[in-house]
Amino acid sequence: MPRRPAEIPPDDEWSQEAAKTFWWGNWRDPSNCLFPWLYADGQPRPNYPMKDDWGVQPFPVDYDSEWARGRPQWEVYLDAYDAWNRETCRLIEVYKRKVEELDYEESVEVYEGKFPDVPEYPEVHASVLIAAAEPDVVALADALEDPDSDPNCKDCGLWTPLMYAAMAGSLECVEYLVDNGADLDARNNLQDTAYDIAIQAFAKKQSDHPVLRFLCQAGAPRGAGWRARLLA
C-alpha cells in the first residue's frame, strides 16, 4: 500500500500568524535556515523525506548526495540537522492544528511518536569533540589520526573542539589543536570564539590561567556574542 504523502498545512491566516509569533512558525521560508553559510556556493540541497509519523526514528543524513561530495561529514550533518529542524517545525504546525479542540491527554496521544529524532552525529568527528571536552589529549591525538577527522569540526551549536578544550581549561588540548590547525577565529552560533569561552570560564577566578595566557599570546580574537560584550 503506497504511503500517504506528508501533510502540508495551508498557508492561511493561521500559519501567517504562527510565523509572526512562534519560533517554529516560519518553516515555509526556504531562506530561514540555521546555517546559511553552508549554501553560499548555491549548490542545490539534498531532498530529505517528510513523514507525518516518524516513530522517533533518527532523521537521515545523506552522505551520498551530490551536495555532500567533497564536503566534510560534519557539514553534511549540519545540513541534515537544518532539514530535521524544518521537518520538526512542520510537524508542530500539523499537529497543533489537529489538537486545538482536544484536551491535554488526547493531545499527548496525538503527538506521541510522530517526530523524528535528531540526526546522528558522525562518529569520526564526535570522538574529536568528546576528547577535547573531557579533556583527554591522548584520546584527542588518537581521534585526529583518522584521515577523515577535522580539528575544526562543528556540532549543531557550531562549537569546535578548541571551544570545548578552552572551556575545560586544558592547555595541552588547546595547544595540540592549535598546532594541528584549529581556527582561533571560529564562531559558535552565539558568535563566541574559544577565547570568549575561556574568559567566561576562568577570567574572574584565575585571571592568569594558562589557557587564557596562551590564547592571548596566540592573538586569539574576541567574538561578537554576549560573552564578548559582557566580559570585555
User: Would you place residue 109 in the very low, low, confident or very high pLDDT band (cuts 50, 70, 90)?
Assistant: confident
- For residue 208, the tally of other CB atoms under 10 A from its CB is 8
Share the mean pLDDT of the chain: 94
Please tell me whether residue 117 adopts helix, strand or coil conformation: strand
pLDDT digits over 74-106, tens only?
A: 999 999 999 999 999 999 999 999 998 888 888
Cα distances from 187 to residues 120, 169, 199, in angstroms, run 22, 18, 15
- Nearest CA to 110 out of 92, 98, 125, 123 is that of 98
For the chain, the structural domain boundaries read 61-113, 124-218
**pLDDT at 1 > cutoff 60:** no
Question: Three-state DSSP class for 210?
Answer: helix
Provide CB contacts within 8 A for 145, sequence distance 6+.
none
Q: Which long-range contacts (CB under 8 A, 24 or more apart) does 64-69 make?
A: 67/43
Q: Which residues sit opposite 58 in a β-bridge?
A: 117
Cis preceding linkage at 135, omega within 30: yes
Mean pLDDT over 16-39 rounds to 94
pLDDT tens-digit map of 135-191? 999 999 999 999 999 999 999 999 999 999 999 999 999 999 999 999 999 999 999
pLDDT attached to residue 2:
56
C-alpha cell at 211: 589557557
Q: How far apart are CA 17 and CA 39, in angstroms?
A: 28
| Model confidence at 67: pLDDT above 70 | yes
Q: Are 160 and 183 in contact (CB under 8 A)?
A: yes
CB contact at 8 A, 15 and 25: yes
**For the stretch 46-69, what's the b/e string if a residue is b when 16 or more beta carbons lie within 10 angstroms of its beta carbon?**
bebebbeebeeeebebbeebebbe
Cα 134 vs. chain centroid, distance in angstroms?
A: 19
Please check whether the domain covering 124-218 is classified as CATH 1.25.40.20. yes
Who wins on pLDDT, 183 or 207?
183
The predicted structure's pLDDT at residue 232: 61
Average pLDDT estimate for 44-61 = 94
Separation of alpha carbons 155 and 122, rounded Å = 10
